[in-house]
Amino acid sequence: MIQYVIRRTLFAIPTLLIISLIIFGILDFAPGDPASQLPLTIPAEVREQIRESLGFNDPFLIKWWKWNTQMMVNEPIHWFEQFTNTCVGDCESRSRIISWSSRAPAMDIIVQRLPQTLWIMGTSFILGTLLAIPVGVYSAYKQYSLFDNVGTLITMVGYSVPVYFTGILAILLFSVKLGWFPSFYSTTHNVEWTSWSSIWIQIKQMIMPVSVLTLFNAASMSRFTRASVLENLNLEYVRTARSKGLGEMKVINRHVLRNSLIPVATLIALAIPGIFSGAILTETVFRINGMGQLLITAIGQGDVPMVQTITFLFAVLTVAFNLLADLTYGFLDPRIRYD
């Protein structure tokens, strides 16, 4: 198992390098210019010096290499220093990725935005899984029953209706008509975990975005689960388990569920980019100032380093989740470990 984990983890590194090359390569074609937002009174030669100082005129591979060291070496060291309050090497002059529009290190801004995204995305991912697996298993177990038919219809709808439409419908119904929940997410609200009213405000503003995203995540997951359980239910080992007198609960939970979850783990990993897209769109609908919103603003401003950093972070998260799914797969299915 340990060998398998190491092999898988090592395989993620070249993937990330190639992805960073693709992202960097595409953005290098950008017509953007770090000096374009400066006042017009700055003379041309000073502009040229500013470009030079930001490394804008370096050859492609050098820029890519510099960016990679900044992203993968300097930033982690910086956060390590921040966390432990120490100084590793020349901590004063270490170069970091600087946003063109705000002139601040891109990662500092991203770190301010990260909690909102993780809150919404994480909650809805966990809730979605908790909802999807029981629903998928039960509707496969009772195939063609009322529960199955209604469930299939709802998952089909949840899977097909885009989040930016369910979100708007939710706002229209619960904010405009009923006035129950706020129509946008306020980041200025500081949650005090000792006061119920403060927690309640946070819950109230999270309900709509989280449930919209949960519906979307749960729909595709429960479709996968249902299909996988259906395939397993007709296999011989289920009949064996029943014929040796095991209770239905045991047959389903111990035997069928464990075998059915193996392909589901892979399918969920494949759905991860879709989940990120859903999160970006949900952030736009509910005006949550998370990573997705930052990305869209940065694209609008032509802020190339910021866009690169965020896109790359999304890629890192995708690869990390894929790795996690692969490891789960290896854990669930011993055959995979020894290929």
Where does this chain bind other proteins (CB under 8 A)? 15, 18-19, 22-23, 26-27, 29-31, 153, 156-157, 159-162, 164-165, 168-169, 171-172, 176, 270, 273-274, 276-277, 280-281, 284-285, 295-296, 299, 302, 307, 310-311, 314-315, 317-319, 322
Residue closer to other proteins (CB basis): 171 or 251? 171
Q: In this structure, are residues 95 and 75 in contact, taking their beta carbons and an 8 Å threshold? A: no
> How many residues comprise the chain?
339
Residue closer to other proteins (CB basis): 201 or 299? 299
Question: What single-letter DSSP state applies at residue 177?
Answer: I
Which residue, among 279, 163, 140, 280, has the nearest Cα to 215 in the 3D structure?
163
Residue closer to other proteins (CB basis): 68 or 277? 277
Tracing tokens 């995708």 back to the chain, one arrives at 318
Residue closer to other proteins (CB basis): 106 or 295? 295
Q: 144: alpha, beta or left, given left = phi > 0 and alpha = psi -120 to 50?
A: left
Residue closer to other proteins (CB basis): 30 or 203? 30
Bridge partners of residue 98, in order along the sequence = 105
Residues 6+ apart with CB under 8 A from 276: 121, 314, 317, 318
CB of 164 to other proteins, least distance (A): 5
Number of alpha helices (DSSP H) and beta strands (DSSP E) in the chain: 14, 0
CB of 26 to other proteins, least distance (A): 6
Residue closer to other proteins (CB basis): 86 or 160? 160
Question: What single-letter DSSP state applies at residue 71?
Answer: I
Residue closer to other proteins (CB basis): 241 or 285? 285
CB of 194 to other proteins, least distance (A): 36
Q: What CA–CA distance (Å, rounded) separates 305 from 100?
A: 7
H or E segment and range at residue 30 = none
Bridge partners of residue 105, in order along the sequence = 98
CB of 67 to other proteins, least distance (A): 15
Residue closer to other proteins (CB basis): 18 or 130? 18
Structure tokens at 253: 């939970």
Q: What CA–CA distance (Å, rounded) separates 70 from 295?
A: 19
CB of 282 to other proteins, least distance (A): 11
CB of 320 to other proteins, least distance (A): 10
CB of 323 to other proteins, least distance (A): 10
Residue closer to other proteins (CB basis): 187 or 277? 277
Q: What CA–CA distance (Å, rounded) separates 203 from 200?
A: 5
CB of 3 to other proteins, least distance (A): 21
CB of 269 to other proteins, least distance (A): 9
Q: What CA–CA distance (Å, rounded) separates 225 from 130?
A: 12
Tell me the CA end-to-end span of the chain in Å, nearest whole number.
Answer: 12
Q: What CA–CA distance (Å, rounded) separates 159 from 153?
A: 10
